[in-house]
Amino acid sequence: MARLAQTAGLTDIQEEILATVRTFVDKEIIPHAQTLEHGDTYPADIVEGMKEMGLFGLTIPEEYGGLGESLLTYALVVEQIARGWMSVSGVINTHFIVAHMLKQHGTPEQKQKYLPRMAAGEVRGSFSMSEPELGSDVAAIRTRAVRGESGYTINGQKMWLTNGGTSNLTAVLVKTDEGAEKAHQNLTTFLVEKPEGYGEVLPGLTIPGKIDKMGYKGVDTTEMVFDGFEIAADQVLGGTPGQGFRHMMDGVEVGRVNVAARACGIAIRSFELAIEYAQQRKTFGKAIAEHQAIAFKLAEMATKVEAAHLMMVNAARLKDSGRRNDVEAGMAKLIASEYCAEVTQEAFRIHGGYGYSKEYEIERLMREAPFLLIGEGTSEIQKTIISRGLLREYQSRG
Ligand SMILES: Cc1cc2nc3c(=O)[nH]c(=O)nc-3n(C[C@H](O)[C@H](O)[C@H](O)COP(=O)(O)OP(=O)(O)OC[C@H]3O[C@@H](n4cnc5c(N)ncnc54)[C@H](O)[C@@H]3O)c2cc1C
């Protein structure tokens, strides 16, 4: 059989991009990931390398200086990067989501203003929906923007911004009170330009320090505090207030394919480490891979890797074809993240005591996998999306 997680029907360009990224991951990411992660160090050199390869503009249309590639290409690139170190994929993920939202929903002026500089990696995006008191329940957002004569004033607190300190453009979802009956119709996305860094970066806008996390290190995750922050009305994404929920949901839909791809990447790496170790380690006179209990673990892990990859690819292709993919993206995210947690756990067990040592990569993967069960919507939220879609499609005639 072929190696795991192959994708049929790719173009020559896609194959070329993936081969380049795979080599970059093997040479520039995997050898440095453990040290950088243990030091919680931002991977500045790796990010420069990604800039040079044009990865920040991978999906931005060519007219704005990007490579104009599909969601599928992006997802396969992310899968490879996460195979090396998931945090590195986190650096480009929020950027990719903001670029997608601008491309789909920005005014012509906003696209012109940001997309070329985003393609070059000069403007780096992050996005913010979550607050200290809400994550899943997006419509309950409390941070509020009030319209004045010359623009809006924002007050409130945001939580869990990936790349909050290292980005310079944040798409922020806030309440604007459009007088709509439904809460989610009173939400607006603002494009907040800010300097990189921590502290009071602009009058009324503070990025406190990095949140200390169990994994997903190196990449910064922060809060964002608005205290009388003033912003011009032309920074409303798309120009019309009240559309923010729709914009963000479109963003997280592609984000879910991306999280599925990250989970696939970690699972592939865990499998690679496990099958290598299982052939080296001997107990009771033979390699542990020759004990059926371990061989069966490898078979199950590989089957999960393959299933998750295929569902992720299917969800990406559906979106690329212009069709709705909320159910498929939800299914891909659900299965890939749950399988990723299971596969890393099994790879850890195969490593015996050494899996618990910081010298072995599997301990890092074990700490990274749980984030994928939460980010871009928990498994419970994916099941809610999937079941709603199914009930829509299979409506009872009774
Ligand atoms: C490292 C990290 C990075 C992040 N980066 C970002 C970012 O860049 N931008 C951003 O906006 N957010 C980000 N988040 C936030 C993330 O999206 C939320 O944590 C996630 O959506 C869950 O929200 P919550 O933490 O408030 O959990 P809650 O919504 O409080 O949920 C708690 C538990 O209740 C369950 N639950 C909630 N509602 C239901 C329901 N209706 N039915 C059944 N079960 C339910 C959940 O599944 C979960 O198990 C990040 C989070 C982390 C940990």
Going by C-alpha positions, the residue among 46, 11, 5 that lies closest to residue 260 is 5
Q: Which residue, of 119, 134, 149, is where some domain finishes?
A: 119
DSSP tag of 134: B
Q: Do 162 and 261 lie in a common domain?
A: no
Q: What is the pLDDT, as a whole number, of residue 1?
A: 63
State how far the alpha carbon of 128 is from the alpha carbons of 79, 80, 241, 248, in Å. Answer: 23, 26, 17, 9
250, 356 contact by CB (below 8 A): no
Q: Decide if 96 is inside a domain.
A: yes
Atom of ligand 1 nearest to the CA of 126: 8
Helices (H), 244-325: 244-280, 292-320
Q: What is the pLDDT, as a whole number, of residue 168?
A: 98
378 Cβ below 6 A of ligand 1:
yes
CATH of the domain at 75: 1.10.540.10
383 Cβ below 6 A of ligand 1:
no
Neighbours of 3 (CB within 10 A): 7
135 Cβ below 6 A of ligand 1:
yes
Distance CA 130, CA 124 (A): 19
Cα 374 to averaged position of ligand 1 atoms, centre (Å): 6
Number of compact structural domains in the chain: 3
Strands 144-147 and 152-162 turn out to be antiparallel
Residue 68, helix vs strand vs coil: coil
Q: Do 386 and 328 lie in a common domain?
A: yes
CATH of the domain at 287: 1.20.140.10
The pTM of the full predicted model, rounded to 2 decimals, is: 0.96
Q: Which residue, of 242, 271, 305, is where some domain finishes?
A: 242
Q: What is the pLDDT, as a whole number, of residue 286?
A: 98
Task: Record the tokens describing residue 329, joined without a space.
Answer: 């993206």
Q: Decide if 274 is inside a domain.
A: yes
339 Cβ below 6 A of ligand 1:
no
β-partners of residue 153 are 146, 230
Q: Do 277 and 373 lie in a common domain?
A: yes
Q: Do 261 and 366 lie in a common domain?
A: yes
What stretches in the chain show pLDDT beneath 50? none
Q: Do 193 and 110 lie in a common domain?
A: no
Please state the φ and ψ torsions of residue 225, each to the nearest 5 degrees. Answer: -115, 125
For 52-75, what is each residue's pLDDT tens digit?
999 999 999 999 999 999 999 999
Q: Decide if 299 is inside a domain.
A: yes
State how far the alpha carbon of 365 is from the alpha carbons of 76, 221, 370, 373, in Å. Answer: 19, 18, 9, 13
398, 342 contact by CB (below 8 A): no
Cα 213 to averaged position of ligand 1 atoms, centre (Å): 15
Q: Decide if 7 is inside a domain.
A: no
Domain that holds residue 136: 125-242
Neighbours of 16 (CB within 10 A): 11
DSSP tag of 218: S
Q: In sequence order, which residues have a C-beta less than 8 Å from that of residue 253 and are 6 or more positions away? A: 319, 325, 326, 329
